[in-house]
């Protein structure tokens, strides 16, 4: 089982819903060629929050203000019955720097009304709109026919909205 993070930098957050979200076109690895938030796997001794901040820095060069990092979702991805990845999802409405392209990612700002769901993981259209509108969600998603996960079929899901979510690692003692 892998533990991973996603971070969605937001701008135009004066109203209830932000105007824009920074997505990356992933240039290598799992989900290559698709849009996603910056993110990746936890390293040893790292908390999910530290991971989300590090991955956003490494992939697009933005320095997220830790005080503005808000956990929005905890998503479990199953592949052929087994838990493949638990993913901690964050919103971030304060950060420094301008996004830059790196070997891992090409950043692009999207209006929240024009998210390219047809170029993203199949499950994202089910939970990302709620996350961008400030809700919390716990989700479980079943894929079949892998590995790898990004070539498997998305077959089932279960979502719990507006639930309290914890902000620690699911498998490690530090949180």
Ligand X SMILES: Nc1nc2c([nH]c(=O)n2[C@H]2C[C@H](O)[C@@H](COP(=O)(O)OP(=O)(O)OP(=O)(O)O)O2)c(=O)[nH]1
Query: Is residue 53 a contact point for ligand X (CB under 6 A)?
Result: no
**Cα-to-chain-centroid distance, residue 160:** 17
Query: Is residue 138 a contact point for ligand X (CB under 6 A)?
Result: no
| For ligand X, the closer CB: 95 or 127 | 127
Query: Is residue 124 a contact point for ligand X (CB under 6 A)?
Result: yes
Binding range to ligand X, per CB under 6 A, among 11-19, 106-114, 121-129, 164-172: 121-129
Q: Could you tell me the smallest distance in angstroms from the CB atom of residue 89 to ligand X?
A: 8
- Residue in 8, 90, 95, 121 binding ligand X, rule: CB under 6 A: 121
Binding range to ligand X, per CB under 6 A, among 36-44, 64-72, 95-103, 155-163: 36-44
C-alpha 167/C-alpha 148 separation (Å) is 28
Classified as helix, coil or strand, 62 is coil
CA atoms within 13 A on the CB side of 174: 10
CB atoms within 10 A of CB 46: 18
- Residue in 20, 46, 74, 123 binding ligand X, rule: CB under 6 A: 123
Q: What is the pairing mode between strands 153-161 and 69-79? A: unpaired
| For ligand X, the closer CB: 28 or 174 | 28
Measured at the CA of 109, the angle between CA 103 and CA 115, to 5 degrees, comes to 105
Peptide bond just before 148 cis, omega within 30 deg: yes
Judged by the rule CB under 6 A, the positions of this chain that interact with ligand X are 4, 6, 29-31, 36, 39-41, 77, 85, 87, 121, 123-124, 149
């Amino acid at each position: 089982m892998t533990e991973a993070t996603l971070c969605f930098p937001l701008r135009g957050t004066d109203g209830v819903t932000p105007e824009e979200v920074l997505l990356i076109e992933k240039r290598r690895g799992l989900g290559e060629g698709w849009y996603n938030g910056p993110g990746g796997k936890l390293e040893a001794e790292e908390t999910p929050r530290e991971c989300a901040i590090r991955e956003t820095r490494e992939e697009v060069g933005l320095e997220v203000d830790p005080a503005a990092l808000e956990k929005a979702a905890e998503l479990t991805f199953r592949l052929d019955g087994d838990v493949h990845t638990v993913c901690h999802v964050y919103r971030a409405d304060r950060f420094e720097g301008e996004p830059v392209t790196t070997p891992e990612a090409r950043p692009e700002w999207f209006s929240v009304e024009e998210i390219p769901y047809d170029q993203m993981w199949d499950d994202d259209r089910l939970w990302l709109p709620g996350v961008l509108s400030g809700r919390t969600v716990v989700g479980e998603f079943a894929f079949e026919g892998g590995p790898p996960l990004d070539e498997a079929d998305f077959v089932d899901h279960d979502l719990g909205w507006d639930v309290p979510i914890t902000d620690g690692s699911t498998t490690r003692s530090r949180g």
